[in-house]
A and B are shown apart, each in its own frame.
Chain A
Amino acid sequence: MNEATRTELLFEAFATLADTLVAGYDVVELLQSLVDYCQELLEIDSAGILLANDRGELEVVASTSEANTLVEIMQLDADAGPCMLSFRTRAVVSVPDVDVDAERWPDFSATALAQGIHSVYAIPLRLRETTIGTLNLMRDSPGELNYQDVRAAQALADVATIGILQERTTRDAIAIRDQLQNALSSRVVIEQAKGVVAETGGISMDAAFARIRAHARSRQTPLSVVARQLVRGELRL
């Protein structure tokens, strides 16, 4: 990617994220856009976002692939891995070679390596004293993320975090928690909808999600609304 294209794409990413932040926006859709832009803009192979639920556990809310293999890796990461560490310490955690750190997080490392993931970069989604989750960037080869990518990823993560926490003060901590919990709850109905479309269309979960999302985008309807229609049988895709 040359520098001009990259800059253009970055502008587009910020513009789109900003657009998503108008009143009544869908948190899942916002975070899905964020991981998609990360994959497009950065030298990475996959990305995912985990949000803390009301019990303080991290849950995958968006990822570049809806294949269960990737989701499982990130969920293991959330239990004991760089992602969990980043959330706890509220700092960036870079694991340039998963193999080297394998003993530290055996379950996560073994599963990640088995799927060909060799380096991980975890960025906390944090604004001042509030940390709502992490952005996870993964690559199929070992090595540090280059400086430009680190900056771009940090900027994208910040925009999304600020967006979610916008106009809210610590006074609204409960409102924020509710909103994030809603995003995670809407994941339930999105998963069910994926199942419905996978079954009726005879396709994979990943393809089912792509179909649902394309429909949501073309109708400018939140993902969770489309998902609910599918689960209730009011819509067929």
Chain B
Amino acid sequence: MSGDPFRVASDALSGVGERVSDIARPFVRFLPVSGASVSTFGAFLSAETISATDDRAGRIDELQFDLGEGPCWDALNTRRPVLETDVANSAEWPAFTRAIQGENVGAIFAFPLSIGPLEIGAVDLYSDRPGSLTPEQQEQTVALSAIVSRILLRHAVAGAAPSPTSTFSRRLVHQATGMVLAQLDTTAEDAYLVIQARAFSDNRSMRDVAEDIIERRIRFSALPDEGAP
């Protein structure tokens, strides 16, 4: 049996572990694309290409960082996939489109990476020829992006925001986890990650952040700019 390519890709992702430099590879395994890159940027993590399947994918990422425009920015800002099916005839991102003219790129797809209110970055996919992704392929890419978000976040906060060691501190963190999972309508695992990330970015202990959540001094909402046009 040849196996479902998507399943193969998602299995490959769960095996990535600490080797985040390989994290873009699974996307090219099941999608009709020529290359992929995964990068972190946004309000929370510094701009960095974490993984690229080839040099061209890396350059597409870098150009968007340098120019401050491009599909990956739009994807993260809107928290929606951006599908540019024909780059050569695109009216979007004039500077970026001009800059990649020499790269012979037909289509570009960018998928946001985020967890609740946390901006993580984006997945950039490019194809030599113009074309789109089927709804099923988009769904699968979104599903894979969610896994990638968690791996990247865990990687970013690992060691920087140590888990609480005392029994009482853990109890507070569990209570706060429950509050955050209700605020974000998410899972306990993600809520815990959000608290951990907040502790990391504020340079505080998880227990301190948990106490602020329990005392209702900190509140999370899925999209800070929800409702904006």
- Mark A residues whose CB is within 8 Å of B: 57, 59-60, 68, 71-72, 75-76, 78, 187-189, 191-200, 205, 230-231, 233
Closest chain B CB from A184 CB (angstroms): 9
Q: How far is the CB of A175 from chain B (nearest CB, A)?
A: 24
Contact: B174 with A75, CB < 8 Å? no
Q: How far does the Cβ of A39 sit from chain B's closest Cβ, in whole Å?
A: 21
Q: Are B167 and A60 in contact (CB under 8 A)?
A: yes
Q: Which of A68, A75, A205 contacts B167 (CB 8 A)?
A: A75
A192 engages B166 (CB within 8 Å): no
Minimum CB–CB distance from B185 to chain A (whole Å) comes to 7
Which residues of the partner chain B approach A75 to less than 8 Å between Cβ atoms? 166-168, 171
Please give the distance in Å from A57's CB to the nearest CB on chain B: 7
Task: Give the Cβ gap from A87 to chain B, nearest Cβ, in Å.
Answer: 14
Chain A hits for B181, CB < 8 A: 192, 195-196, 231
Q: Check B182 for interface membership: any CB of A closer than 8 A.
A: yes
Tell me the smallest distance from the CB of B92 to a CB of chain A, in Å. Answer: 38
Q: Mark B168-204, 1 if CB is under 8 A from A, else 0.
A: 1011101111111111010010000000000000000
Q: Are A199 and B182 in contact (CB under 8 A)?
A: yes
Residues A191 and B178 in contact, CB atoms below 8 Å apart = yes
7 A-B pairs, CB-CB below 8 angstroms?
A: A60-B167, A68-B172, A75-B168, A188-B170, A191-B174, A195-B181, A196-B181
Taking the nearest CB of chain A, how far is it from the CB of B194, in angstroms?
A: 13
Closest B residue to A188 by CB, please name it.
B174
Using Cβ atoms and an 8 Å threshold, which residues of chain A touch B50? none
The minimal Cβ–Cβ distance linking A206 to chain B, given in whole angstroms, is 11
Chain A's closest residue to B183 (CB) is A199
Q: Which of B166, B172, B174, B178 contacts A199 (CB 8 A)?
A: B178
Contact B188–A205 (Cβ < 8 Å):
no
Given contacts A75-B166, A191-B171, A198-B179, 5 further A-B contacts (CB under 8 A): A68-B214, A188-B170, A192-B181, A195-B181, A233-B185
Most buried by A among B168, B180, B183: B168
Residues of B with C-beta under 8 A to A72: 168
Q: List, in ascending order, chain A residues with CB within 8 A of B183's CB.
A: 199
Task: Evaluate contact between A198 and B171: CB separation under 8 angstroms.
Answer: no
Nearest Cβ in chain B — how far from A225, in angstroms? 16
The total of Cβ contacts below 8 Å across the A-B interface reads 67
Chain B interface size, as a band, is 10 to 19
Asked whether B178 lies within 8 Å of A231 as measured between CB atoms, the reply is yes
A45-B178 Cα distance, complex, nearest whole Å: 29
- Which of B177, B179, B180, B185 has most A Cβ within 10 Å? B179
Chain B hits for A199, CB < 8 A: 178-179, 182-183
Tell me the complex Cα distance, A233–B180, Å: 13
Interface residues of B in 141-182 (CB under 8 A from A): 166-168, 170-172, 174-182
Could you say which residues of chain B place their CB within 8 Å of the CB of A233? 185
Q: Are A205 and B175 touching (Cβ within 8 A)?
A: yes
| B227: min CB distance to chain A, Å | 21
**Contact, CB under 8 Å: B168 / A200:** no
Select which of A60, A189, A197, A205 is within 8 A of B214 by beta carbon.
Answer: A205
CB contacts (< 8 Å) of A230 on chain B: these are: 178
Could you tell me the distance in whole angstroms from the C-beta of B80 to the nearest C-beta in chain A? Answer: 24
* A159 → B minimal CB distance (Å): 26
Contact (Cβ within 8 A) A192 B188 = yes
Residues of A within 8 A of B171 (CB): 60, 68, 71, 75, 187, 191
CB pair A196 B166 closer than 8 Å: no
CA distance A59 to B180 in the complex (A): 24
A205 to B171, CA, bound (A): 12
Q: Are A198 and B167 in contact (CB under 8 A)?
A: no
**Chain B residues whose CB sits within 8 angstroms of the CB of A60 once the complex forms:** 167, 171
| Given known A199-B183, A231-B188, contact A192–B177 (CB-CB < 8 A) | yes
Nearest B residue to A68 by beta-carbon distance? B172
**What is the CB-to-nearest-CB distance from A182 to chain B, in angstroms, rounded to a whole number?**
16
How many Å lie between the Cα of A230 and that of B181 in the bound state? 10
* Chain A neighbourhood of B170, CB < 8 A: 188
User: Which of B170, B171, B176, B214 is the most central at the interface, judged by chain A CB atoms within 10 Å of its CB?
Assistant: B171
Say how far B39's CB is from chain A's closest CB, in angstroms: 32
A59 to B179, CA, bound (A): 22
Chain A neighbourhood of B185, CB < 8 A: 233
Shortest Cβ gap from B98 to chain A (Å): 47
